Structure 1
Amino acid sequence: MTTTNWISLLFIIGLIILHFSEKYLNLSTKDPRSKLLSFAGGATIAYSFIFLIPELAHYNDVLKRLIGSESWLAFFEEYTYTLAFLGLLIYYGLDLLMSARKKKTGDTGNGLFAVHIAAFFFYNFFIGYLLVIQDFKSYWAMIVFFIALGLHFIASDHSLKAIHEEDYDKYGRWFLVAAIFAGWLTAVLFNPSEAFAAVGISFLAGGLLFNTFKDDVREGSSHNYWAFAGGAVLIAFLYMLTH
């Protein structure tokens, strides 16, 4: 393995530790929402706008080249942006299903729990994959990626636990931890696929934006706004320092 792969493995281990340590933090997801969760949300949103969304332009060119001008898909050129929008719609639809089922029966049921965790399995899988295949400008840039996504994991873990409660601690968390490692291992063992990377980063961008905004818009207050803004400014500043 290359030096970059070993360093990325350290970050993967760090993300796994964050997944397991979240249950000991006990942060409030309801009103009043924890300021740390809002801070994490701001950091994630900033990283999405500064890093992930600009990457969509690059990967859109990749898909245009791979699809070619003779394909029936050639008439439509905004591939990655459409996939990002579809990712947002999918995670929004799942969130509505979870909320409606929980209001009606008090829990989400095994079927919806499995579907929800499967959606986040892909989400985490691609984060692990991206840590290896992404052309970071320096190891410091990888650290900023780790900080932004690590903070996002803290917030998303709390949201998933609030929905699925004990099922998330017993089963869901383990699947999501496995997903991060599986994504990393896939990228290390097999030649990176530009098409897969393009599809994955597009869905990831849409999912990150929805899953971050939904909680702070629903549960945040004026105090949470400043925490949210603080996280966004910090990550934006760190990103500029490392690029």
Structure 2
Amino acid sequence: MFIVVRNLRGETILRIDTILLGIIYLIVQLFANRIISSSTIGRFKWLSFSGGVAVSYVFIYVLPSLHKEQEDFAKSGLTMESELYILGLIGLLTYYGVHKAAERASKIHEKGEGSFFWIQISFFAVYNMLISYIIFASDIEGVEAVFYGIAVGMHFLAVSHDMWREDSERYQKLGRYLLATGIVAGWSIGVFATMPSFALGIVFAFISGAMIMNVLKKELPSEENAHFRTFLGGAIGYTLLILALKWFFEW
């Protein structure tokens, strides 16, 4: 059962599923390392499973949705037929550039990334905000919102843990709160501020490219910490579950 809250004009502004997802995302963001370290299945299995789910999410939801958004854009009279794909590429290149700059900064400084750590945190706070905005501004709800939201939550978990590994002290003191602020900002904009559908498509395209890069770069387990069976189980299990739910609920 999903409770709907309406304002005085009868407009829908809050649902219980959006509230619960927002709270879960904040918990994940603030306590990602504690969640992973306290788990009995181990950090490598946790991250491998999360990576599998994230990869499945990209191919099952992100890419098909980007294609649909591009088709809707084409109907508006734009002639390139690839505008949103280009924006996705820009998102991918932007966050790949941030990642490479962070690598260079970590080689220059004796400990961590120096002041660039805060630049990277700022980029990922915006990243969290845009993803949260897309989740909460979209028209998916109920069971569909829960299962797609789970994949996003696990993605937040992996990215947060990666930030913690790069500079645990500064991340614990302030970094995680800045990232959580991004989630709150995206949640607030997505729930209370209405934007035209073409603007939602633009944001979705950019953040899709960024998410694809971060999933492939940060969540595919490397050779030294991979647990392939867990990764494979996460990818195949989530894919089969979503396909079954799509067939059953006709999403």
TM-score, normalisation: structure 2? 0.83
Match of 1:47? 57
Higher share in helix = 1
Structure 2 Cα separation of the partners of residues 200 and 122 of structure 1:
11
Instruction: Give the number of the structure with larger relative contact order, counting CA–CA contacts within 8 Å between residues 6 or more apart.
Output: 1
Match of 2:9? none
Quote how far apart the aligned CAs of 1:180 are: 1.1
Structure 2 Cα separation of the partners of residues 92 and 58 of structure 1:
25
Quote how far apart the aligned CAs of 1:221 are: 5.4
1:168 and 2:171 aligned: yes
8 Å Cα contact 2:44/2:226 also seen in 1? no
Quote how far apart the aligned CAs of 1:83 are: 1.4
Structure 1 Cα separation of the partners of residues 160 and 128 of structure 2:
12
| Partner SS, residue 195 of structure 2 | coil
Match of 1:204? 207
Match of 1:119? 123
Match of 1:17? 27
Structure 2 Cα separation of the partners of residues 95 and 218 of structure 1:
16
**Cα distance, 1:220–1:139 mapped onto 2, change above 3 Å:** farther
TM-score, normalisation: structure 1? 0.85
Quote how far apart the aligned CAs of 1:164 are: 2.9
The residue type paired with residue 129 of structure 1 is Y
Structure 1 Cα separation of the partners of residues 117 and 226 of structure 2:
32
Match of 1:230? 233
The residue type paired with residue 109 of structure 1 is G
8 Å Cα contact 2:56/2:236 also seen in 1? yes
The residue type paired with residue 47 of structure 1 is Y
Of 80, 86, 90, 1:82 maps to: 86
1:108 and 2:113 aligned: yes
**Cα distance, 1:87–1:3 mapped onto 2, change above 3 Å:** closer
Of 173, 187, 192, 2:190 maps to: 187
- What is the number of residues matched between the two proteins? 231
Structure 1 segments of 4+ aligned residues over 6 angstroms from their partners: none
- Provide the alpha-carbon RMSD of the alignment: 2.3
- Unpaired runs of 5+ residues, structure 1, are none
| Partner SS, residue 34 of structure 1 | helix
Quote how far apart the aligned CAs of 1:58 are: 1.9
